[in-house]
Amino acid sequence: MRPVLIYSHADEPITHALFSSELDQKFNMVKLPLESLLKDTLIIDEFDESEVKIEWTLSSGLKISNSKDFYIINRVLSIPEVLFHDFSEEDRIYSLSEFRSYLAFAIEAFPCCFSKPGAFGLSGNRFSLPRQWEMIKQSNLSVKVPNYYLGNVQYCGLKRDIVYSEPFNFYYWKPSEDIKNASFVFEKPEGKPIIACIIGDEIAVFSYYSTDQLSLRDIELAKEQSRALSRLFNYPIAECLFFLDDLKANFGMISNIPYASRNKKWFSDMINSFFTQIMERDGKC
């Protein structure tokens, strides 16, 4: 089985970690940027009521099919509009939408795949902050989530450590006293911020601020909570933001794009170990 990394953004943390990696050298990983799939690849697909056959012939002559000979590492976060820059304005949005639909259909057809498309994202579901918090409220997890408000900010009743933000801005947590033209407002949780990076069975925990010290109890608490959240959101690779306060872990967010962890020395090694183990598992999905 040969790994195929299909990606939209070369600087995305997991994609970047896999370039020139052990996985690349040991298993001859195919690197397939979206631009090459769109412009340089011959696509011949067949489907009927019982079977879907995907076949991509790359410019090198390699044929990639939805068989167990290939393992797709799906890192298509979004489709850059620049890929359709040469299209006429009236065709651009339609063409981008059609290509997105095709990608979701094609990647789903591969039996061996990491991070299949979902209703809220091409590389796994990416839920907004309010949706994350509501999902946790509806679960049986004993994790406290921020109070938030959606609507005209003039009618917002929140009063403590108010953050004016956007629903998909996972990394902005700075309170402000100035009323801004925002429709999404939340209270920053109390406590010191820490990150738990989940990569398969491994979890690395570190302080958001280098000056903060973590106890063994802090680390174990973050690991325990992040394991449960990883299962709830179905993220084998992700990072969670918590705010530790009086031996409680207040939840901030979970992201399947681990931006805060990418510059840690252990990150690339853990990413490559995760995918190498998959490939060495007798070639099975």
The pLDDT, as a whole number, for residue 140 is: 85
**pLDDT greater than 80 at residue 223:** yes
In a domain, 136, yes or no: yes
In a domain, 269, yes or no: no
- Please check whether residues 108 and 150 belong to one and the same domain: no
Beta bridge partners, 222, equal none
* Interval 203-225 mean pLDDT: 92
In a domain, 171, yes or no: yes
In a domain, 263, yes or no: no
Question: Could you say which of 81, 103, 124 is where a domain stops?
Answer: 124
**pLDDT greater than 80 at residue 177:** no
In a domain, 285, yes or no: no
**pLDDT greater than 90 at residue 248:** no
Element (H, E) at 283: none
CA 110 to chain centre: 19
Q: Return the CATH number at 167.
A: 3.30.470.20
- The number of folded domains in the chain is 2
State pLDDT tens for residues 11-31: 999 999 998 778 888 899 999
CA dihedral 142, 144, 150, 156 (to 10 degrees): 140
* Interval 162-187 mean pLDDT: 88
**pLDDT greater than 60 at residue 284:** no
- Please check whether residues 105 and 147 belong to one and the same domain: no
Element (H, E) at 166: none
* Interval 128-150 mean pLDDT: 94
Q: Return the CATH number at 60.
A: 3.40.50
Question: Could you say which of 124, 157, 174 is where a domain stops?
Answer: 124
* Interval 43-69 mean pLDDT: 93
* Interval 189-211 mean pLDDT: 94
In a domain, 262, yes or no: no
- Please check whether residues 217 and 153 belong to one and the same domain: yes
Per the structure, the complete domain to which residue 100 belongs is given by 2-124
Q: Give the pLDDT band of residue 285 (cuts 50, 70, 90).
A: low
In a domain, 278, yes or no: no
The mean pLDDT value of the chain amounts to: 92
Question: Could you say which of 69, 91, 124 is where a domain stops?
Answer: 124
Beta bridge partners, 238, equal 198
- Please check whether residues 63 and 133 belong to one and the same domain: no
With a pLDDT cut of 70, the percent of the chain lying above it is 98
In a domain, 16, yes or no: yes
